[in-house]
Amino acid sequence: MPEYVFPPPPQPFLPIRGSSAVFPIRRIFCVGRNYAEHAIEMGSDPTREPPFYFTKPADAVVIGGADTPYPTRTRDLHHEMELVVAIGRGGSHIPVGEALSHVFGYCAGLDLTRRDLQNEAKKTGRPWDMGKAFDHSAPMGDLVPAAGIDCSRGRIELRVNGELRQASDLSKLIWSVPEVIANLSELVALAPGDLIMTGTPEGVAAVVRGDLLEGFIEGVGEVRTRIV
């Protein structure tokens, strides 16, 4: 072990339902436009695009139902409710048929987005990072071990202050969980601790301070945070 000039940062983690052990987070990959109706609402053609990715830092997660501070430099903070896949076994060039054997578990997550900064970045051809990868941009619920979970179907929904904002089904993912894992593993070597946010269905919209966000994925669980 080297001698560090200051203490190394704490290891970000996700709690695991029914376990006192936790899941150490390595990286967070996010799939863009993975539900047809959301691609259409964002002005894209859902039929022709291969999957594409952006990332968030591991320490962007907000866990345990903690509050999420409204970020600086935006007037248009959007919710994106998503299924999160947690990789337990790494690999490159993972075949679609073997992809699910690399999954440790799943959780419900929010890809919070400074939509105004993301739109500006799209217009100017600049990176999305400051629209997507800011502090506290990834509230997540407890991880649920994969055994017995069928990630190919199940309701996914988000309520804001009790009102239904997003409602869809995992069966509507353009690129399925195994296809995303296989495709992403062609671009990077996946490693234990990696999280993949699989994209949001339609209904994204702005939230303001005081809003309570409650997401639910059938068979997986919940994510909950208040914007403060």
Residue 200 within binding range of Mn ion, rule CB under 5 A:
yes
Q: Closest Cα to residue 28, out of 50, 61, 64, 65?
A: 61
Considering the complex, state which of residue 22 and residue 116 has its C-beta at the smaller distance from Mn ion.
116
Residue 211 within binding range of Mn ion, rule CB under 5 A:
no
Give the separation between CA 176 and CA 5, rounded to whole angstroms.
44
In contact, 88 and 100? CB cutoff 8 Å: no
Binding segment (CB under 5 A) for Mn ion, from list 15-23, 73-81, 188-196, 218-226: 73-81
Residue 214 within binding range of Mn ion, rule CB under 5 A:
no
Give the separation between CA 57 and CA 45, rounded to whole angstroms.
29
Size of interface with Mn ion, in residues (CB under 5 A): 3
Which DSSP letter does residue 8 get? P
Q: Least distance from C-beta 31 to Mn ion, angstroms?
A: 7
Binding residue for Mn ion, selected from 111, 142, 157, 211, defined by CB under 5 A = 111
Residue 80 within binding range of Mn ion, rule CB under 5 A:
yes
Q: Least distance from C-beta 179 to Mn ion, angstroms?
A: 17
Residues within the interface to Mn ion (CB under 5 A) = 80, 111, 200
